[in-house]
């Protein structure tokens, strides 16, 4: 029996279904077993990002920041390098965040600047409050693991309402933080130094940075689910590193405020 579909006719050589070659059952079973035992398709085979890619890129960028931070700590670099790290991290961070193109080299440069900033700041805080850096690192890891658990368990999700409220609150917080920085540069006082408002503002920063991890987890998961190109894992890793560094610095500041108030 011939098909009226010319494509099917060409596929079967215009022979009809009865003329099709019958595949032995043993060969079918062998093919199924071979497919079942084959390793899962990696991003190298599919060209699509996987969660392993995101973890690897995040590890690379975070590793660069930690290595540069440790080097700047032990080299005891002058405070002028602090401003280089601050300005460089701000510029590269903004470019990376708003760029439509994936830029791995830019993300690595950002990690270098942020490592410089973290290393010098951490050493300075450690001189005034011994042990504070270790406390900040432990608290950052704990916050990361805690937010990952809440996300994976479904207790916290990046719903449109959650995202809208979080971004709005973060923008408001950044305005206050920038205002405080400008006040200090002009010779005034910092908002964080106020007896009651300072600790509350610092705790708000820690909370916002922690909740922002939910958006980063969701971005990575959505990218994998949508089958985005493998290079997009760099962007997801960049977002995670930005938030983790922000969280660490906020925790470091909060601990310094709390310990300073107890001195």
Write phi, then psi, for 162 (nearest 5 degrees).
-60, -45
Per residue in 50-99, pLDDT (tens digit) is 999 999 999 999 999 999 999 999 999 988 899 999 999 999 999 999 99
Exposed/middle/buried for 120, CB within 10 Å: 0-12, 13-18, 19+? Answer: buried
- Spell 51-60 as b/e; 16+ CB within 10 A means b: eebbeebbeb
Domain presence at residue 46 = no
Provide φ and ψ at 103, rounded to 5°: -130, 85
- Answer yes or no: is 89 within a domain: yes
Condensed to tens digits (0 to 9), the pLDDT of residues 129-156 reads 999 999 999 999 999 999 999 999 999 9
| Helix 132-152 / helix 104-128 crossing angle, nearest 10 deg | 130
Domain that holds residue 186: 51-262
Computed over every residue of the chain, the mean pLDDT equals 85
Predicted pLDDT at 180: 84
**Distances, alpha carbon 218 to alpha carbons 13, 215, 221, in Å:** 50, 5, 5
Count of structural domains, the chain:
1
More confident residue, 116 or 16: 116
Distance between CA atoms of residues 48 and 164, nearest Å:
29
Residue with more model confidence, 238 or 46: 238
229 in helix, strand or coil? strand
Share of the chain above pLDDT 70, in %: 81
pLDDT (average), residues 148-175:
95
What span, in angstroms and rounded, lies between the C-alpha atoms of 123 and 130? 10
pLDDT beyond 50 at 28: no
Q: Which range among 27-31, 190-194, 218-222, 229-233 shows the weakest confidence by mean pLDDT?
A: 27-31
What pTM was estimated for this model as a whole?
0.81
pLDDT at 117: 96
Residue 37 pLDDT class (50, 70, 90 cuts):
low
Q: Is residue 119 scored above 80 in pLDDT?
A: yes
Kindly state whether residue 2 falls inside one of the protein's structural domains.
no
Residue 88 lies in a domain: yes
At residue 85, what are phi and psi to the nearest 5 degrees?
Answer: -65, -40
Which of the two residues, 4 and 107, has the higher pLDDT score? 107
Instruction: Evaluate if residue 262 carries a pLDDT over 90.
Output: no
Rounded to a whole number, what is the largest CA-CA distance in the chain?
Answer: 93
Q: What is the dihedral of CA 173, 176, 180, 185, to 10 degrees?
A: 100
37's tokens: 């035992």
- Residue 27 has a pLDDT of 52
Classify residue 33: in a domain, yes or no. Answer: no
Q: Does some domain include residue 174? A: yes
Higher-confidence residue: 8 or 182? Answer: 182
Residue 212 in any domain: the answer is yes
Instruction: Choose between 247 and 76: higher pLDDT.
Output: 247
Domain assignment of residue 256, yes or no = yes
CA distance 50 to 62: 18
Say what the pLDDT of residue 196 is. 80
The percent of residues in the chain predicted with pLDDT above 90, rounded, is 69
Instruction: Give the pLDDT score at 178.
Output: 87
Whether the per-residue pLDDT at 38 is higher than 80: the answer is no
Across 184-213, average pLDDT: 88
How many C-beta atoms lie closer than 10 Å to residue 204's C-beta?
A: 18
């Amino acid at each position: 029996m011939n098909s009226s579909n010319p494509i099917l006719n060409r596929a079967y050589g215009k022979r009809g279904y009865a003329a099709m070659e019958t595949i032995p059952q043993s060969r079918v079973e062998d093919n199924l077993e071979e497919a079942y035992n084959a390793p899962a398709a990696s991003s190298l085979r599919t060209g699509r990002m996987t969660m392993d890619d995101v973890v690897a890129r995040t590890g690379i960028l975070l590793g660069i920041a930690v290595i540069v931070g440790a080097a700047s700590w032990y080299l005891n670099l002058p405070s002028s390098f602090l401003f280089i790290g601050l300005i460089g991290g701000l510029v590269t961070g903004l470019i990376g965040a708003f760029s439509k193109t994936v830029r791995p080299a830019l993300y690595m440069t950002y990690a270098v600047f942020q490592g410089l900033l973290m290393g010098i700041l951490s050493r300075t805080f450690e001189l005034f409050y011994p042990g504070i850096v270790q406390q900040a690192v432990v608290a950052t890891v704990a916050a990361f693991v805690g937010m990952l658990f809440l996300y994976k368990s479904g207790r916290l999700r990046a719903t449109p309402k959650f995202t809208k409220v979080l971004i709005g609150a973060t923008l408001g917080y950044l305005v206050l933080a920038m205002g405080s920085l400008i006040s200090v540069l002009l010779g005034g006082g910092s908002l964080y130094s106020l007896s009651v408002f300072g600790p509350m503002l610092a705790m708000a920063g820690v909370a916002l940075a922690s909740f922002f991890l939910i958006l980063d987890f969701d971005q990575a998961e959505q990218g994998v689910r949508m089958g985005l190109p493998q290079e997009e894992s760099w962007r997801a890793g960049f977002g995670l590193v930005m938030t983790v560094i922000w969280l660490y610095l906020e925790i470091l500041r909060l601990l310094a405020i709390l310990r300073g108030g107890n001195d």
